[in-house]
Structure 1
Amino acid sequence: MTDTRQKDQDVLWRPDAASMSKTRIWAFAKEQGFDPDDYVGLQRWSVSEKGPFWSALWDFTGVLGDKGETAFVADDAAWMTGARFFPEARLNLAENLLMRGEDADIAICAMDEAGQYQEVTRGELWAAVARVAQGLRSAGVEPGDRVAGVQGNDVHALVATLATLTVGAVWTSCSPDFGAAAIIDRIGQVAPKVLFATSEYRYGGKDHNIADRIAEVRASVPSIEMVVCSGGTLEGAVSQDDFGTVAELSFARMPFDHPAYVLYTSGTTGVPKAIVHRAGGVILQHMKEHILHGDVRPGDRVIWYTNTAWMMYHWTISALATGAAVVLYDGAPILKTARGLDCSPLWDLSEKAAVTHLGVSPKYLATLAAEGFLPGERHELSALRALLVCGAPCLPHQFDWVYASVKQDMMFASISGGTEILGSFLIGSPVHPVRRGQLTVPALGHAIAVFDERGAPVIGQRGELVCTEPFPSMPLTFWGEGGDQRYRDTYFGDRDEIWTHGDVAELTFTGGGYVHGRSDNTLKPGGVRIGISEIYAVCEQYPELEDFLVFGANHDGDEEVVLAVKPSERAELSADMIKRLRSQIRTQASPRHVPARIHPVQGVPYTINGKRVEGAARTVINGGKVKNLGSIANPECLAEYATLKREEAL
């Protein structure tokens, strides 16, 4: 009885029987002969019978293309890296995203930071993509050529992306707030023939002109034959509004493994890895996640707050393939005003566009909570059916805040995957309860496990997150010389033909799990392995702290825990407050988690994709040099970490 009560206390939301029976995953399970309540059986089938599962998914979600007779070919000598899915198939990713619905259906809802809002119909989007695709063909772009973008999250960028995919070329993109070196380090690897770029963007209430930056990129990447300007003016560029002529949509259907996207890792240990994703893997992974796990339906409105460089951009725009509209926001999600922080932009857009699925980061939710912002009281959110988070571990108390402050009757899903798979290993579900702090279920089609130090699978213990069976959205390769070997070394170097993801995770007896952080951020004070998410969970509770970073420092042949804290404006880090902080970390985590050193700092380093960079701080405090400063959004703050002295710690 005690165990049952405990389990019920952890459940924050449970779908009712009527709503579950209307979900697409319910229908899919029944169609495959499964009891829809038996997710465990369905998931096991999806990873043991790979050909039948992915073939059934293709049919159920209505993938457009020629599937061929064969769904899966195993390679006994290279079980993961040698596996092939749909070797006879021919398809086009853009065709799948565009050829849904009717001309008058809304395809895009877009808003900028100033609140300017527009809607684009399917017919208007088709026409714009057809015109730009004709322009690319006229410019000599052929299947397999690379096309790059340095654009904001707006309609122009989406049209450029879809037009590139339409002609069978390979799309790669950076956000306009990236520095020239960061852009060159990325797109320079893949030698694009055409560059779509803006000369200006607005963020945080400030206008930024980057014409000189784009000129530097053009001069440094000799493969670029043409620049197409999507905003402002660029010398020697063609305006995207005048690029191409009226044309019919004509899709180049290519093999399943044909490259569609090149994305880049955000690490700071070297030049970003250029990860090549195959078109077939992208569409199957995203249709599965949107339709089955997200229950996205025709007419829905889907947004993830992202920029054009992050994988969640590519994930979001795939919602077009479900018949839904994608919602784009270009600008800062929280604005500074004379009266303080304005947390309303994303919620204004969600209300105006009747958003059904909203994706954000745990840090964004933490800021809303610290500001006392209550979206559910301020905005009409009756259309909202799912709130999703990723990018960092979502802490248990944030689950409580969501259901108290946003909406009680909706799915809340903390999901975890990565750029490497362009999707999720642990994900939400419209037919499962939401349990406090937990990621809901292992995704269909992914044979994930957590291995301990013996290499044995464990439940209820922390270990390395792995995947033991192949899946279609594994990278095709890393771009460049030796790409296949670098790819294998990265994900299969630790365990032959077993994908090692680089996350510390834990699976639970309820079928869900936790992700505690990156493996390379795990600390070992006194030789005992600990995660840092528990320390962050305590820090989140202190309004005196605007931000914080946990990492390790070498001391006397051991590693000690260092906590860097950025005080909130007008807050004081009193001795009493620091004492309480340490005490709570000891109580809520363990004595091993208590920082040996606490340092006030003026800033916390983040990657240009918005993730804390614990490794960079650890490198500089231990006297090393960060190899790829171009991956860090605010590298100037690292100079302070190099000066932190143990004897001056709080």
Structure 2
Amino acid sequence: MKNDILWAPDEEAFTESGLARFAKACGFDPRGYTDLHRWSVSDPGAFWSALWDFADVLGEKGDVFFVPDEAAWMTGARFFPDAQLNLVENLLRGPVAEVAVYEVLEGGAQRAITRAELRQCVGRVAYGLRSQGVMPGDRVAGVMPNTIDGLVAAQAALSIGAVWTSCSPDFGTAAIVDRIGQVDPKILFAAPRYRYGGKNHDIGARIADVMAQMPSVEALVLSGEGDVPAVSSVAMDAFGQESELEFARLPFDHPAYILYTSGTTGAPKAIVHRAGGVLLQHLKEHILHGDVRLGDKVIWYTNTAWMMYHWMMSALGAGAAIVLYDGAPILKKDEGLDPSPLWNLAEKIGVTHLGTSPKYLATLAAEDYAPGKRHDLSALRSLLVCGAPTLPHQFDWVYQAIKRDMVFSSISGGTEILGSFLIGSPLHPVRRGQLTVKALGHAVDVLDDRNAPCIGRRGDLVCTEPFPSMPLTFWGEGGDQRYLDTYFADRAEIWTHGDVAELTHTGGGYVHGRSDNTLKPGGVRIGISEIYAVCETYPELDDFLVFGASHEGDEEVVLCLKPTEGSEITADLVKRIRGHIRTAASPRHVPARVHLVSDVPYTINGKRVEGAARTTVAGGQVKNLGSIANPDCLEQYKSLRRENTL
């Protein structure tokens, strides 16, 4: 429908954008995305080879681009079996005098370094790693803030063929050990102090506890001020020496990163990602779907543990500078909340691509903070969000409060593919509430209960053809089998992603939430995103959580409400919310139980943990409290009883 179009590309996009130029180079009309996408998944070797050439990847490609496996079509397929490359070599190339990285701290301090200076820093630390005996395949870990030091440590490890894995410094001891402790790192980079939310945090004792539980670590390298008691260490400034930067070119499938699942249902799974798959996936997303160009400036608000940190780092390979912001995106001050930090830096630096979360946008709207009216955002061409479903009314708000002349891309994928299945496009209109297109190279579909593809109906999001950024394995004993059990147990040789989604006749789609958060009151499958969409419209609500609870052989909907400061959750308000849910969604979405809570559980990466609340209310034990940022709030959920509903 035309009236749901909020933005449309101009004619120049069909000649000048990276996606248009790639389509033409491959013999396709830039206005015929459907044909281009069909080709990208039906002839994967040709597509990914064409992308390699278009992005001018450094390395030896080899003569074979794709090797199918008829017995295991997805899990047995191989891409570029004869290739040799280095991920960081492709990120650090480019004009040496151009700024590569801007670092902005919460207090406002800012510095920038050029590509030549970044290469020099990486070369020095890489020398230090080699001097410590680090070899290709060895793991190097970080507990680092989002600073230049953290970036240098990661890139130095990758440059010599080591495998990088990281946690954010706000993770607790158990959360760190549960993750990087699995993979036996040889070197640990850490920052004993960091600043967040107006407070200075000293985690030196925590790093000491981590070291005591990770005997594999042979050297501790410290960034910034502070120390780690009773543990020998070396300052990062003194680690290594000036040295010519050399890149270890290794096979396409050589491991580069280990990332971790949220771990709320058990120990976090350690997902091993291959260097070549990460590089091609990210270059495709930046250059083609994001239209990132030489000289652009890209930021995603993230920490060093989240997949979007690694994604943002790869924008260097598209010729862009990246912006590292370390601190809180919204500051608490005596006069109230200050949402300006990201917009201040966007204005000052001239950010072209800014990534954040729907929750952040909802907070801005609740604070009546309109960035477009307070800041010069003339350089901004693209706003991106992920991490949770973006609600339709948020699309309206973005174009009213931030900027009309830009692409707004709600994207969806995951840590397990280090990229997106549904993504934005410079050649397609932005439609209210929709993710714009299926990503090139991904045979995305939605299957219903019959395992039949469907349009306009909800089902399981799947991918039916192989792609290079599929995980290499899960780390540890039985990792291959655990990987297969996670994504291919439901459907043999079809990737089942775990999201409830819906594709549209326009070529886009919606992601309604995780499959394990789907509710079935009365045996009818419903999603929780519609309930969240209603709750978002009430200023009296600071936060909310929806999950299912068993009752008399059925499942009923439970809604927990956290009031905003100074607001009261009255019986009349609850009645209005229930009525609104009934009309906006359906009678089956109406919660049978409504409870008042003081907080909502979140993962340490900022996602609501419906499953933890559900388990707690049912009297069970959450398996991995270390993955929850605020586990103490679950104590209140133990006392939520059906007879005490509002």
Please point out which of 388, 391, 396 is paired with 2:387: 391
Please point out which of 141, 149, 158 is paired with 1:148: 141
Q: Is 1:493 the equivalent of 2:479?
A: no
Question: Which amino acid is 1:37 matched to?
Answer: R
1:27 corresponds in structure 2 to 21
1:75 corresponds in structure 2 to 69
Shift of 1:267: 3.1
Shift of 1:240: 0.5
Q: How does the TM-score come out when normalised to structure 1? A: 0.99
Shift of 1:554: 1.1
| SS of structure 2 residue aligned to 1:231 | coil
Question: Which amino acid is 1:363 matched to?
Answer: K
Alpha-carbon distance in structure 1 between the residues aligned to 2:226 and 2:575 = 56
Task: Map residues 122-521 of structure 1 onto 2, 5 A cutoff.
Answer: 122-235=115-228, 236-521=232-517
Alpha-carbon distance in structure 2 between the residues aligned to 1:103 and 1:297 = 16
Alpha-carbon distance in structure 2 between the residues aligned to 1:586 and 1:65 = 57
Alpha-carbon distance in structure 2 between the residues aligned to 1:618 and 1:610 = 18
- Listed one character per residue, the Cα deviations across residues 158-212 of structure 1 (whole Å, up to 9, x for unaligned) are 0000000001000000000000000000011100000000101111111110001
Which residues of structure 1 form unaligned runs of 5+? 1-6
Shift of 1:420: 0.2
Aligned residues: 643
Please point out which of 7, 31, 37 is paired with 1:13: 7
Shift of 1:18: 1.8
Question: Which amino acid is 2:496 matched to?
Answer: T
| SS of structure 2 residue aligned to 1:400 | helix
Alpha-carbon distance in structure 2 between the residues aligned to 1:63 and 1:353 = 28
Question: Which amino acid is 2:602 matched to?
Answer: Y
Q: Is 1:87 the equivalent of 2:64?
A: no
1:4 corresponds in structure 2 to none
Shift of 1:232: 1.8
| SS of structure 2 residue aligned to 1:17 | coil
Question: Which amino acid is 1:360 matched to?
Answer: T
Asked if structure 1 preserves the Cα contact closer than 8 Å seen for 2:14 and 2:31, the reply is no
Q: Is 1:117 the equivalent of 2:110?
A: yes
Alpha-carbon distance in structure 1 between the residues aligned to 2:65 and 2:128 = 35
| SS of structure 2 residue aligned to 1:425 | strand
Alpha-carbon distance in structure 2 between the residues aligned to 1:414 and 1:311 = 16
Shift of 1:585: 0.3
Question: Which amino acid is 1:134 matched to?
Answer: Y
Percent sequence identity over aligned pairs:
71
CA RMSD, aligned part only? Answer: 0.6
- Listed one character per residue, the Cα deviations across residues 351-407 of structure 1 (whole Å, up to 9, x for unaligned) are 111000000000000000000000001000000000000000000000000000000
Alpha-carbon distance in structure 1 between the residues aligned to 2:351 and 2:258 = 29
Alpha-carbon distance in structure 2 between the residues aligned to 1:468 and 1:252 = 33
Runs of 4+ aligned structure 1 residues displaced above 3 Å come to none
Shift of 1:278: 0.1
Q: Which moved more, 1:576-585 or 1:561-570?
A: 576-585
2:620 corresponds in structure 1 to 624
Please point out which of 588, 598, 611 is paired with 2:584: 588
Q: Is 1:553 the equivalent of 2:571?
A: no
Question: Which amino acid is 2:457 matched to?
Answer: Q
Shift of 1:20: 3.0
Alpha-carbon distance in structure 1 between the residues aligned to 2:257 and 2:616 = 34
1:543 corresponds in structure 2 to 539
Alpha-carbon distance in structure 2 between the residues aligned to 1:622 and 1:232 = 46
- Listed one character per residue, the Cα deviations across residues 323-347 of structure 1 (whole Å, up to 9, x for unaligned) are 1000010010000000000000000
Asked if structure 1 preserves the Cα contact closer than 8 Å seen for 2:447 and 2:460, the reply is yes
Shift of 1:33: 0.6
Q: Which moved more, 1:17-26 or 1:347-356?
A: 17-26
- Listed one character per residue, the Cα deviations across residues 433-460 of structure 1 (whole Å, up to 9, x for unaligned) are 0000000000000001000001000000
Shift of 1:99: 1.4
2:45 corresponds in structure 1 to 51
